[in-house]
Amino acid sequence: METVILPNTDLSVSRFAFGTADCGTRIPTDQALRVFETYRGAGGNFIDTAHCYSAWVPEGLGVSERWVAEAVRRFGRQGLAIATKGGHCAFDGYPRPDAFLAPEVVERDLSESLERLRMDSVDLYYLHRDDPRVPVDEIVDACNRLADSGRVRHLGASNWSAERLLAANRSARSKGLRAFVILQNHWSLLQPNWSSLDAPGDVRYVLDSERERLAEAGIPVAAWAPVRGITELERGSSGSYDTERNRRRLEAARRVAAETGATTTQVALAYLLSQRPTAIPILGTGSETHLREALAAEGLRLTSEQLEALENA
Ligand SMILES: NC(=O)c1ccc[n+]([C@@H]2O[C@H](COP(=O)([O-])OP(=O)(O)OC[C@H]3O[C@@H](n4cnc5c(N)ncnc54)[C@H](OP(=O)(O)O)[C@@H]3O)[C@@H](O)[C@H]2O)c1
């Protein structure tokens, strides 16, 4: 698998990340370990987890991070880039204070994460959500205190707008502090129909208007749910991807798949791999067959006509 060096870091991460939100819950522990072994065997090294995973399942809080600890125990830490996240807002099964990005809240999240992971430090620590009520300067200072403690090697932001992330990085640079080196947002060929993006704690996808600014700033995007939309729509689900535009894009993906002998999932991933800024899709599969199919998308090069057909559908 190709690797990507995260700008301004010594972190060399594989082109696909391994999402663990469902490991040990929807995906039984041993099955997830088999899929992970296949991922490692293919050269994958970038693990994604979070403090709040998988609190949406009864007894699920902390299961993903503990699963990562078990995977590291079995397969070794050498060469792995381990990312976790903290500072998530409240949801059902995950009570939080209203000020979910308060330094003491994130500090406690990090301590609990490291305990579950059985590690002294993580390679990358993301703030899981943004709270636009908090000035970026305060957030940058608090994140730098975490990094100064030696428990976090590099910083990232998840579900942030490009505008806020770049403002935070300007603030960090002006003070000679560490900046965010990566953004983790939803990004895929299909866009969900979410109505709000800017309220405290909202999830975000990468807007077309943000892509060039992120690319110019050298901020790669770890793309969460890279194929969830296309697989849901293919199954005929009437969820948040069931829009006119997405149905047209799915048809376009089917045409490109027929031309190239690939699957629609591979077309959706190849589309992401061809984008600026650099996209690192985070795969959330519990199936070795689906994992191999996804990884093979790296070898699929779409022509500019095919990319245009997908974008303009
Ligand atoms: N920062 C955030 O706010 C945030 C939010 C969500 C997720 N994440 C991260 O991103 C990771 C991935 O998210 P995700 O699970 O939504 O990603 P995803 O890989 O886009 O979607 C996974 C879903 O697609 C199915 N799938 C994958 N390949 C398939 C194929 N070829 N055919 C049919 N179905 C297929 C999987 O089922 P099978 O298991 O059967 O393959 C699973 O249900 C998470 O684990 C987490 O680490 C971050």
All domains in the chain, ordered by first residue: 3-311 (3.20.20.100)
What is the chain's mean pLDDT, rounded?
A: 97
Beta carbon of 266 within 6 Å of any ligand 1 atom: no
Q: What is the pLDDT of residue 195?
A: 86
What is the rounded CA–CA span in Å between residue 173 and residue 38?
A: 40
Q: What is the pLDDT of residues 205-246, one digit of tens each?
A: 999 999 999 999 999 999 999 999 999 999 998 899 999 999
The percent of residues above 90 in pLDDT, for the chain, comes to 97
Of ligand 1's listed atoms, the one at least distance from the Cα of 22 is: 45
**Confidence class for position 200, pLDDT limits 50, 70, 90:** very high
Contact at 8 Å (CB) between 270 and 8? Answer: no
Instruction: Return the residue matching tokens 């999240």.
Output: 109
Cα–Cα distance, 108 to 34 (Å, whole number): 32
CA of 307 to the centre of ligand 1 (A): 23
Ligand 1 neighbourhood includes 84 CB (under 6 angstroms): no
Q: Is 44 in the pocket of ligand 1 (CB under 6 A)?
A: no
Q: Is 210 in a helix, a strand, or coil?
A: helix
* Ligand 1 centroid, distance to 148 Cα (angstroms): 33
223, two tokens = 């793309």
CA 117 to CA 115: how far, in whole Å?
5
Q: What are the E-state strand segments in the chain?
A: 3-5, 12-14, 17-19, 46-48, 81-86, 122-127, 152-158, 180-186, 221-224, 279-283
Q: Ligand 1 mean position to 134 CA, how many Å?
A: 31
Cα-to-centroid distance, 91 and ligand 1 (Å): 20
Q: What percent of the chain has pLDDT over 70?
A: 100
The two counts, helices (H) then strands (E), for the chain are 11, 10
Residue 196: per-residue pLDDT: 87
Which atom of ligand 1 is found nearest the CA of 21? 45
What is the distance between the alpha carbons of residues 241 and 233, in angstroms, rounded to a whole number? 7
